[in-house]
Amino acid sequence: MKDLRAEFIKAATWHGTLDEAEALLAQHPELRGGDIHTAAILGDDRAVQRLLAEDPNRATATSPPYGGDALNYLGLSKYLRLEPERTPGFLRAATALLDAGADPNTGFWTTGQFPERETALYGAAGVAHHAALTRLLLERGADPNDGEAVYHSPETGDNAAMKLLVETGKVTPENLSLMLIRKHDWHDYEGVKYLLERGVDPNWGGKRGWNPLHHAIARNNKRKRDHPFRRNHDADAGFNRCGKR
């Protein structure tokens, strides 16, 4: 027998369109609002508040298919990413969950050869690139050094969510360097310029031994490697370590 809730959660989170999720809701309207996980995914703050009033423990209850809680699935919701008109409801629902005890650093582990921890902050900053929810989670204690949020928040031309991570002042030099490298991947001159002007060190090789300028050259990002900040960068640093000579 199919678990329709789990099927809907899978269809309504992460990347892709809403087609499958909407088809499930059309066939099974009972999925709307009757469960805290599906209500959170839909940004239905009234249903979330009602369900929490009935049982505050629902704030931390987990659900298949991934073992996430309501806030976790809310952050990864396709509706959050694709239907910005729902933003006020999502923010009220997230606030209610946090007030009821949800962990701002909530996340679940994927399975397979390379497991990753997928958090609400990753969903907000790295999937939806949703500045308002990113801000709320950070204000309530989410860790801006969340690995997936750091890696994926630069994957857009809209840098608002990434900037919120940076402007906490808590992101490590290693992670700031990674953000700069990822901006090169996206050929985003303005994003690179912002990070450099915030003081991100273009010489930082960290554990990788591969720094942002090397990455700009590898990605053929001429505008980035010719940026005025290049005068502060040793272009040869690390090339021996990287096997480039």
* Verdict on whether the full-model pTM lies above 0.75: yes
- The arithmetic mean of pLDDT across residues 237-241, rounded, is 36
What pLDDT digit, counting tens, does each position of 89-148 carry?
999 999 999 999 999 999 999 999 999 999 999 999 999 999 999 999 999 999 999 999
Distance (Å, rounded) from C-alpha 211 to C-alpha 214? 6
Query: Is residue 204 very low, low, confident or very high in pLDDT (cuts 50, 70, 90)?
Result: confident
Both 40 and 115 in a single domain?
A: yes
Both 130 and 32 in a single domain?
A: yes
Residue 164 lies in a domain: no
Check pLDDT > 70 for residue 162.
Answer: yes
Both 108 and 196 in a single domain?
A: no
Both 183 and 84 in a single domain?
A: no
Both 119 and 233 in a single domain?
A: no
Both 21 and 123 in a single domain?
A: yes
> Who has greater pLDDT, 234 or 140?
140
DSSP 77: B
Both 71 and 11 in a single domain?
A: yes
Both 132 and 30 in a single domain?
A: yes
**Which of 143, 159, 181 is a domain's end point?**
143
Residue 154 lies in a domain: no
- The amino acid present at 243, given as its one-letter code, is G
Beta strand spans in the chain (E)? 62-63, 68-69, 107-109, 117-119
**Which of 106, 125, 143 is a domain's end point?**
143
Residue 156 lies in a domain: no
Distance (Å, rounded) from C-alpha 187 to C-alpha 182? 9
**Which of 143, 159, 183 is a domain's end point?**
143
Quick one: pLDDT at residue 33? 81
Residue 211's domain comprises 172-237
Quick one: pLDDT at residue 245? 30
Domain count, the chain: 2
User: What are the beta bridge partners of residue 68?
Assistant: 63
Query: Is residue 224 very low, low, confident or very high in pLDDT (cuts 50, 70, 90)?
Result: very low
Query: Is residue 209 very low, low, confident or very high in pLDDT (cuts 50, 70, 90)?
Result: low
User: What CATH number corresponds to the domain at position 204?
Assistant: 1.25.40
Mean pLDDT of the chain: 88
